[in-house]
Amino acid sequence: MTLKYCSWKSLLPGCFISEKPFTEQKHLVSKPISSQRLSLEDLSDPELLKSVHELSIISSLHIFTLKELKLVTHNFSKSKFLGEGGFGTVYRGFIEGKLKPGLKAQTVAVKVLDLDGSQGHREWLAEVIFLGQLRHANLVNLIGYCCEDEQRLLVYEYMEQGSLENKLFNRYSTTLPWLTRLKIAVGAAKGLAFLHEQEKPVIYRDFKASNILLDSDYNAKLSDFGLAKDGPEGDKTHITTRVMGTQGYAAPEYIMTGHLTTMSDVFSFGVVFLELLTGRRSVDKTRPSREQILVKWARPLLKDPHKLCQIMDPRLEGQYSTEGTRKAAALAYQCLSHHFKSRPTMSTVVKTLVPLLEFNDIPIGPFVFIVPDIDMKGKEHPRECDELKHCNRVEDRKEKNDKGKNRQRNIAGTRIRLSQ
- pLDDT tens for residues 48-86? 433 333 334 466 789 999 999 999 999 999 999 998 887
Q: What is residue 150's predicted lDDT score, i.e. its pLDDT?
A: 87
386-395 own/partner pairs: CB under 8 Å, 24+ apart: 386/318, 388/318, 388/363, 389/308, 389/309, 389/318, 389/322, 390/305, 390/306, 390/322, 391/306, 391/307, 391/309, 391/310, 392/306, 392/307
Amino acid at 73: T
pLDDT tens per residue, range 324-347: 999 999 999 999 999 999 999 999
Calculate the CA dihedral of residues 262, 265, 267, 271 and round it to 10 degrees: -170
Band of pLDDT at residue 204, cut at 50, 70 and 90: very high
Task: Give the C-alpha separation, 40 to 44, whole Å.
Answer: 7
Q: What is residue 398's predicted lDDT score, i.e. its pLDDT?
A: 45
Q: What is residue 197's predicted lDDT score, i.e. its pLDDT?
A: 95
Q: Are 320 and 313 in contact (CB under 8 A)?
A: no
pLDDT tens per residue, range 158-189: 999 999 999 999 988 899 999 999 999 999 99
Q: What is the largest CA-CA distance in the chain?
A: 112
Task: Give the C-alpha separation, 395 to 245, whole Å.
Answer: 41
Q: Are 193 and 143 in contact (CB under 8 A)?
A: no
The verdict on whether 114 is a catalytic residue reads no
The H-or-E segment that residue 203 falls in is strand 202-203
Band of pLDDT at residue 19, cut at 50, 70 and 90: very low
Band of pLDDT at residue 400, cut at 50, 70 and 90: low
Please report which residue ranges of 170-245 form alpha helices under DSSP H. 178-196
Check 114, 149, 206, 265 and give the catalytic one: 206
Nearest to 230 by CA among 87, 30, 42, 56: 42
Mean pLDDT score of the chain: 81
pLDDT tens per residue, range 276-325: 999 999 999 999 999 999 999 999 999 999 999 999 999 999 999 999 99
**Residue 29 reports pLDDT greater than 50:** no
Percent of the chain residues past pLDDT 90, beyond the cut: 57
Would the annotation count 111 as a binding residue?
yes
DSSP code at position 374:
B
pLDDT tens per residue, range 230-259: 988 777 777 888 888 788 999 999 999 999
